[in-house]
């Protein structure tokens, strides 16, 4: 089922090729909603060709991210990975007294060191673009 969009506004190019856009579309049932036009999106509910025709040349030009923005995004990705490892690998073990008490002191030390190494990942000299991930015990 295809939805006919007849109005767009506030289009912003997301790449230098001007093939991806963030835009607001006037959805016939939902009203004005944000939409990302992406030619690789397999969903054809809204016609990208029709949207491109509506946008025409009325869009804000693409602005490449600054190095600061790239660094911030990379740092956020590393922190997300670190937090995920802490939550899914470390916390189920170290916060479970039964599991923790079943370990030898050497095993406990290895898990404690792994946790510390994960927490200190942001202190590495290559952070955020070159990170050496510690190995899980």
Residue 89 domain-assigned (yes or no): yes
5: left (phi over 0), alpha (psi -120 to 50) or beta: beta
Section 76-93 average pLDDT: 96
Ranges assigned E (strand) in 2-137:
8-13, 21-27, 31-37
Residue 76 maps to a domain: yes
Residue 79 lies in a domain: yes
Domain presence at residue 1 = no
The residue to which tokens 């990302």 are assigned: 36
Q: What angle do CA 46, 52, 57 make, to 5 degrees?
A: 150
The yes-or-no verdict on residue 115 having pLDDT over 80 is yes
Confidence of residue 99 (pLDDT cuts 50, 70, 90): very high
Mean pLDDT (whole number) for 122-134? 96
What domain range includes position 13?
8-55
% residues pLDDT > 70 (the chain): 99
What pLDDT, on a 0 to 100 scale, did the predictor assign at position 108? 96
Identify whether residues 75 and 113 lie together within a single domain: yes
pTM of the model: 0.68
**Rg of the chain in Å (alpha carbons):** 24
Mean pLDDT calculated for residue range 72-95: 96
44 domain-assigned: yes
Whether 42 and 86 map to the same domain: the answer is: no
Q: What percent of the chain has pLDDT over 90?
A: 88
Q: How many domains does the chain have?
A: 2
Could you tell me if 116 and 71 lie in one domain? yes
Q: Is the pLDDT of residue 129 over 80?
A: yes
134 part of a folded domain? no
Task: Say yes or no to pLDDT of 1 above 80.
Answer: no
Give the integer Cα–Cα distance in Å for 52 and 39: 10
Same domain, 51 and 80: no
**Position 130 in a domain:** no
Evaluated on CA atoms 66, 67, 69, 73, the torsion sign reads: positive
Check whether residue 115 and residue 72 sit in a common domain.
yes
| Residues 78 and 118 occupy one common structural domain | yes
* Cα–Cα distance, 16 to 103 (Å, whole number): 55
Mark whether 49 and 77 lie in a shared domain: no
pLDDT of residue 2: 83
pLDDT per residue as tens digits for the range 24-71: 999 999 999 999 999 898 888 898 889 999 999 999 999 999 999 999
């Amino acid at each position: 089922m295809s939805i006919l969009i007849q109005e767009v506004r506030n289009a912003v190019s997301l790449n230098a090729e001007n093939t991806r856009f963030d835009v607001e579309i006037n959805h016939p049932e939902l009203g004005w909603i944000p939409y990302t036009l992406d030619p690789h999106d397999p969903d054809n509910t809204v016609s990208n060709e029709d949207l491109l025709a509506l946008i025409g040349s009325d869009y804000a030009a693409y602005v490449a991210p600054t190095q600061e923005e790239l660094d911030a995004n990379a740092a956020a990705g590393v922190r997300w990975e670190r937090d995920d490892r802490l939550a899914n690998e470390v916390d189920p073990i170290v916060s479970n007294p039964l599991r923790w008490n079943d370990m030898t002191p050497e095993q406990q030390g290895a898990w404690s060191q792994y946790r510390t190494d994960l927490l200190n990942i942001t202190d590495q000299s290559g952070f955020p673009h070159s990170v050496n991930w510690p190995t899980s015990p």
